[in-house]
Every structure is written in structure tokens, then in C-alpha cells.
Chain A
Amino acid sequence: MKINTNPFGILKSLPALFLAAAMMVAGTSAQAEDIKVGFVYVGPVGDHGWTYRHDQGRLAVEKELGVATTFVESVAEGADSERVIRNLATTGHGLIFTTSFGYMNPTLKVAEQFPDVKFEHATGYKRADNLSTYSARFYEGRTVLGTIAGHMSKTGVVGYIASFPIPEVVRGINAFILAMRKVNPDAVVKVVWVNSWYDPGKEGDAAKALIDQGADIITQHTDSPAPLQVAEQRGVYAFGQASDMSAFAPTAQLTAIINDWNPYYVSRVKALMEGTWESQDVWSGIKTGMVEFAPYGDAVPAEARAAADAVREGIVNGTLHSFDGPINNQAGEQVIGEGETLDDGVLLGMDWYVEGVQGELGGQ
């Protein structure tokens, strides 16, 4: 047995005692040192898409607020995620972001068990006093892309590589062609569903098929940069998805929609530190910076840039909405007239194509 003979040994623990006392004095006003923020990701941080952008937000929180963060990547949706979320809640995290739709019920369950911990769930719709939801209006970005496509497409045919026929994706397709047709009323969009979020080979093949059938601009709602590579090789244009993908298509990428969660994450952690955090439901877009854009490619002419900028400005000012009437459905029947706008309820459940979309939407 070793006996501590150092009479000054007790001094070593003094700083800890002072720190504890200081924390008691500080009371409820939380400081950066004692807040921990947790993130749960559905994919790997190296996916160059969805999860990558959430992780950029986490890094922004660390950098701007000096707050410690923890992340767990590639967490399967469902029962496994509940264990991960609970683990974060029991290890002193004051705020936990769960970043995929499938985490909705597990997050709610853990939130009920830990009323003192705050939770934020992306893209869901179940809320509680300590559980917020947040999502982005990516379709606003599609409106800007459609405007550029309308100015730049010579064939008037755009190829759209889509993942799964859910309202989120259908909304993007509709927003794109509505904007494109405002510039070129005869434009059409050909949609190919690859039934995957992520299959570089198949996404590339879909791009080839669309280009072979006359599309001179490719856009996608899938996660890999393979379609942009194909566009670059074939000498047509394309839009990046979720991240700036210009490394894969230096001349072909016209711009890219970028999911920017940084300002949102920073503001929410700040609110927690200041004690002003409240449960809320956020669905915002270009205005709050949640939907951002990569710099325009060299190929985009001044006229298209001006038009795209005007659309962005209109959306930010509220003078323009992606789903302003008149809007016809695929069969050419009018859905809403001039002066009307589709409301969020319709947008959230959108399962029909507007005029100008080619192809059959499953499930109808």
C-alpha cells in the first residue's frame, strides 16, 4: 500500500473546489464550459451530402460558441437510435439534435423521460415542451435552379434524377418546373426515379439515359456527385445537391443548393445558454440562410444570374412564393388561379405533378 506523504497533496484539489463554488455562484446562467451539445447522424460524416452538412453545423457551434459537442454517426433509425439518444441525455448533454426523420418517435420517448434536457428533431412533426422540430424549405432553392435552367436550356428538356416519391421530393420537382416554365413556357422535365438515396452507379446511369434522350441540364434529388461527373463528361450542365460539388464538375455545375444548418444550430445553442430556448416548429428557407447556394459557374450568363438573384430576393422579401398561382396539374387542369398560393398543408402532402413534368408518379 502506498501512503501519500506529500503534505501539499490537498492543494491539488483546490482548483476543482473553486470551480465548483464558482458554478454555484453562477447559478442558472449557463456558461460555455458546462454546456454539452449532442448530435445524432443517420449517415457517415463523410457522405459529402446530408450528414456532412449537419456536421458542418456542429463544427460551427464549437467554433463560434466554444461549446463542447458530441456526435454519433451512422445510427440506424428505430430502436438503436433510442439507446444512442438516451445515452447522450444521461451523459450531461443539455441539447440534443437528432437529424433524420426516422428518429422522431425515439426522440419523443427520450424527451418525455428527460424533461430537463432539450431536444431538436429534424424534418419531423411531433413536438413537446422540450422537443422542437426544424426543417428547411429546399423547394425554394429548386425555384432558383429552375429559373437558371429556363434561361440556359437549349432543348427545353431537363433531366431530374429522383429518389423516392415522397412529398419532399415531388415538391422539389414541381417547384423546379414551375420556375423554369415562367422563363420558357414550353420546357419539360423528365423524371427518372432510381428508388435509392444513394447509388452512385445507378444515379450516373440515370443521368446518361436522360442526356441520351435530349436533356441538356441534369438536376437531382439523390446524394452522390456521380450525375455531375456524367454531365461533365458529356458536356451538359448540372446542379449540385446538398453540397458544392464543383470539384466533380468544374465546368458543368451551374450552382448547387447547399443545406446550411450552421446559423440555426448556433442560434439554438445560444438560446439555450441565454435561457431563452423554447419549443418551436421551424420550416424556413433562403431567408434565414438555411438554404444556400454555391457560387455560379462560369457558364451562367449575366442575364440568368440577374433573374436568379431577383427570384432569391423575391423569396426573401416575401413578394414571391415558389407555388404562386396559376398552377395546373399534369393533366392541364387548373389547381389554383392567379393571385392564389398553395398553403403549407398542401405542400407537406404533395403527391401530384404540375404541368410540364413527364412520367408517371407512383402510388396514384
Chain B
Amino acid sequence: MADILIAAILTIITAATPLVYAALGEMITEKSGVLNLGVEGMILVGAVAGFATIHSTGSAALAIFAGLAAGALLASVFALLVLGFQATQVATGLALTIFGIGVSALVGQDLVGIAYDGLPKISIPLLSSIPVIGPLLFQHDILVYGSFALVFLVAWFLKNTRPGLVLRAVGNSHDAAHAIGYPVIRIRYMAILFGGAMAGLAGAYLSLAYSPLWIENMSAGRGWIALALVVFATWRPWRVFFGAYLFGGITIFQLHAQAFGVGVPAQIMSMLPYLATIVVLVIISRDINKIKLNAPMCIGKPFHPTA
């Protein structure tokens, strides 16, 4: 029984990791006051770039970097359109997703049907041999460790650093931030690029570790789930992290429950992760004042620098 539990938790970690990356990246973008609905597209270009690189070079480090760079590259197109040309963020983001699906399919045509063993697991000496905790926390691939680090970094950055404060200021009142002299456009540019890079890492995780292969549209809607997580977690990093694990956890739990033969119709089981994640996050975040405090007030609004 303990073995099943440990195996299940390990599966939960792999299911949650791509969501952690994509959602935390999007959270930073949104904190700067920009809504990027192109997460799904950026995940896919990250996935195909990562897989193409591992296939041609064999280097995991290069492949991870390629995924990150591809996501950031696609995000820079979005940034140019919405910041440079003042295009509507919602429509541009949707176009980015559709473009990402198409371009990743085109690039990945010759990669379909190729197998890869998956990123190597890195066991941390000593710690990984502790019973139960060792296998759960200290025997993962580099991207899982990275996702743990990312949530600490993002939380610390937003709460305790001056650039974090500036980022929040830009997202809450771009006119005020501009009046004080902060470069609103440049800061938003960087936030969008960061969001794209993290979505690209989420994609690289999908095609290098989660299910190490490339097929068209392999993200299967995870970008949209990441977007929803950010809103329901009311733009707070630890809640985003918690939400990702809750969603992953209930997904895996319901698969196990079905395999176990629990007499609940499969349709209800499949609904459960979405339902439970929304309900739990809404309940813990129901304080309206806290929501106002954390939600970026300028989200989706274009910024015209005047004076």
C-alpha cells in the first residue's frame, strides 16, 4: 500500500510540474498588467524545440535551453504586437495560441514516431536514500527541482525585492509608475518574455520528461488550465503552486480510483480535478479585500505613454 502511495505521489509531481512553470510564468506577466492568452501556443513551441534539440544534439541541457528560448521567442512576437503596436491583448493572445499550435506541428513533422528515454533522474547523495522522503523529494529530474526553486524565487521576488515592487506598481497603475519615471513598456516586455520562457520550460518538460515524445498538440489544453490557475489562485505564487498540485493530485487520484474499481461514473471522475481545484481555490481566496490587493488593476489595458 505504501508503495502505491509513493508511486502515486511521484506521478502527481510529474503531472503538476508543467502547470507550475506555465502558471508562475503567466502570473508574472499578468502582475505587470498584461494578459497573455498564448500560453498553450508557447508551451507547444517549447515542447517541439526541446524535443528537436534532444533528437539532433542529444544534450539535455541544450534541449531545456531550446525550449526556454523558443517560448521566449514566441512571447517576444506577442510583446511586439501588444506593446509596440498596441494590439488588443485578448485577440493577440488567442492568435498566438493558434499560431503556436500550427508552427509547432509544422516544425515537428519529422519528429513524430521518434522515441526518447526521458531526462535523467538526479539523485541527491545521502538525502535520496532516506526512506519515503528520499524517493519523494530527492530523486527527480532537473526540471522538477527547478520548479521547486521557481516558486520560492517568484514569491521572494514579488514580496521582498525592489524590482518586484516596481513590477507590481506597473501592473496596478501604469500611469503612476510612468509618472514616477519607471519604463513601463520595458518592464512589461521583460515580464512577457519571462512568462514565455517559463511556458517554454513547461513544454520542454512535457516532451522531455512527462511523455518523452513529440506529437502535434501534445499539451492537450494544459496552457488553459495554467491560465485558470493564476486567476483562481488570486495571483499569489504559493497558491498557484498549491493549485497545480491539487489539480495534478486529483487527476491522478481519480485515475487510481477508476483502476481500483470505485463505482462512480467515469465522467464524474474526469470532471473532479477541474471542479475541486476551482472550489478549493475560490474558498481559500474568498476574501474580497485580499483579491483586490493582489489582482493587477491594469490587466489587459493598453498603455499609451503621455507626457
Other-chain contact of B115, A194, A200, A248, A363 (Cβ < 8 Å): A248
Inside 8 A of A359's CB, which chain B residues have their CB? 258-259, 261-263, 266
Tell me if B11 counts as interface (CB < 8 A to partner A): yes
Tell me if A44 counts as interface (CB < 8 A to partner B): yes
Tell me if B85 counts as interface (CB < 8 A to partner A): no
Q: Is the CB of A224 within 8 A of B11?
A: no
Inside 8 A of A205's CB, which chain B residues have their CB? 11, 14-15, 251-252, 255
Other-chain contact of A213, B212, B260, B265 (Cβ < 8 Å): B260
Q: Is the CB of B258 within 8 A of A362?
A: no
Among B228-281, those with CB < 8 Å from A are 251-252, 255-256, 258-270
If over half of B's interface residues share one DSSP class (helix, strand or loop), that class is named, otherwise mixed; here it is: helix
Give Cα distance in the complex from A209 to B248, angstroms.
Answer: 13
Tell me if B179 counts as interface (CB < 8 A to partner A): no
Other-chain contact of B213, A46, A192, A199, A229 (Cβ < 8 Å): A229
Inside 8 A of A225's CB, which chain B residues have their CB? 115, 213, 215
Inside 8 A of A193's CB, which chain B residues have their CB? 258, 266-267, 269-270
Which of B133-141, B168-176, B216-224 contacts the other chain?
B216-224
Inside 8 A of B264's CB, which chain A residues have their CB? 360
Give Cα distance in the complex from A226 to B264, angstroms.
Answer: 26
Tell me if B7 counts as interface (CB < 8 A to partner A): yes
Known contacts A44-B105, A205-B15; is-contact A200 B211 (Cβ 8 Å)? yes
- Closest Cβ of chain B to A43, distance in Å, is 8
- Closest Cβ of chain A to B127, distance in Å, is 24
Inside 8 A of A224's CB, which chain B residues have their CB? 211, 213, 215, 218
- Closest Cβ of chain B to A27, distance in Å, is 43
Q: Is the CB of A200 within 8 A of B218?
A: yes
Tell me if B158 counts as interface (CB < 8 A to partner A): no
Among B142-193, those with CB < 8 Å from A are none
Inside 8 A of A202's CB, which chain B residues have their CB? 220, 251, 255
Q: Is the CB of A362 within 8 A of B265?
A: yes
Inside 8 A of A185's CB, which chain B residues have their CB? none
Q: Is the CB of A229 within 8 A of B256?
A: no
Interface bits B4-32 vs A (CB < 8 Å: 1, else 0): 10011001001100100000000000000
Other-chain contact of A200, B215, B256, B258 (Cβ < 8 Å): B215
Residue of B nearest to A46 (CB): B112
Q: Is the CB of A208 within 8 A of B216?
A: no
Q: Is the CB of A229 within 8 A of B115?
A: yes
Q: Is the CB of B259 within 8 A of A159?
A: yes
Residue of B nearest to A212 (CB): B7
Tell me if A288 counts as interface (CB < 8 A to partner B): no
Q: Is the CB of A360 within 8 A of B266?
A: yes
Contact size class for A? 35 or more
Q: Is the CB of B267 within 8 A of A362?
A: yes
Tell me if A195 counts as interface (CB < 8 A to partner B): yes
Give Cα distance in the complex from A293 to B87, angstroms.
Answer: 53
Q: Is the CB of A247 within 8 A of B115?
A: yes
Inside 8 A of B265's CB, which chain A residues have their CB? 360-364
Tell me if A172 counts as interface (CB < 8 A to partner B): no
Other-chain contact of A201, B15, B109, B216, B259 (Cβ < 8 Å): B15
Residue of B nearest to A228 (CB): B115
- Closest Cβ of chain B to A208, distance in Å, is 5
Give Cα distance in the complex from A135 to B81, angstroms.
Answer: 48
Known contacts A205-B11, A213-B259; is-contact A165 B266 (Cβ 8 Å)? yes
Tell me if A190 counts as interface (CB < 8 A to partner B): yes
Inside 8 A of A192's CB, which chain B residues have their CB? 255, 258-259, 266
Tell me if A127 counts as interface (CB < 8 A to partner B): no
Give Cα distance in the complex from A212 to B8, angstroms.
Answer: 8
Among A200-252, those with CB < 8 Å from B are 200-206, 208-210, 212-213, 215, 224-226, 229, 233, 247-248
Inside 8 A of A71's CB, which chain B residues have their CB? none
Tell me if A270 counts as interface (CB < 8 A to partner B): no
Tell me if A48 counts as interface (CB < 8 A to partner B): yes
Inside 8 A of B109's CB, which chain A residues have their CB? 46
Inside 8 A of B15's CB, which chain A residues have their CB? 201, 205
Tell me if B118 counts as interface (CB < 8 A to partner A): yes
Tell me if B132 counts as interface (CB < 8 A to partner A): no
Q: Is the CB of B206 within 8 A of A201?
A: yes
- Closest Cβ of chain A to B19, distance in Å, is 10
Inside 8 A of A200's CB, which chain B residues have their CB? 206, 210-211, 213, 215, 218, 220
29 A-B interface contacts by CB (under 8 A): A46-B109, A46-B215, A190-B258, A190-B260, A191-B258, A192-B255, A193-B258, A193-B269, A196-B220, A200-B206, A200-B210, A200-B220, A201-B210, A202-B255, A204-B211, A205-B11, A208-B7, A209-B255, A209-B256, A224-B213, A224-B215, A229-B213, A359-B258, A359-B259, A359-B263, A360-B261, A360-B264, A361-B265, A362-B267
| Residues in B lying within 8 Å of A, measured CB to CB | 3-4, 7-8, 11, 14-15, 18, 105, 108-109, 112-115, 118, 206, 210-213, 215-218, 220-222, 251-252, 255-256, 258-270
| Residues in A lying within 8 Å of B, measured CB to CB | 44, 46-48, 159, 165, 190-196, 198-206, 208-210, 212-213, 215, 224-226, 229, 233, 247-248, 358-364
Given contacts A199-B220, A209-B252, 18 further A-B contacts (CB under 8 A): A44-B105, A46-B105, A190-B258, A190-B259, A193-B267, A195-B266, A198-B220, A201-B220, A202-B251, A203-B211, A204-B210, A205-B255, A206-B259, A209-B255, A229-B115, A229-B213, A247-B113, A360-B264
What 7 pairs across the A-B complex have the smallest Cβ distances?
A193-B266, A362-B265, A199-B220, A195-B270, A226-B211, A200-B211, A358-B261
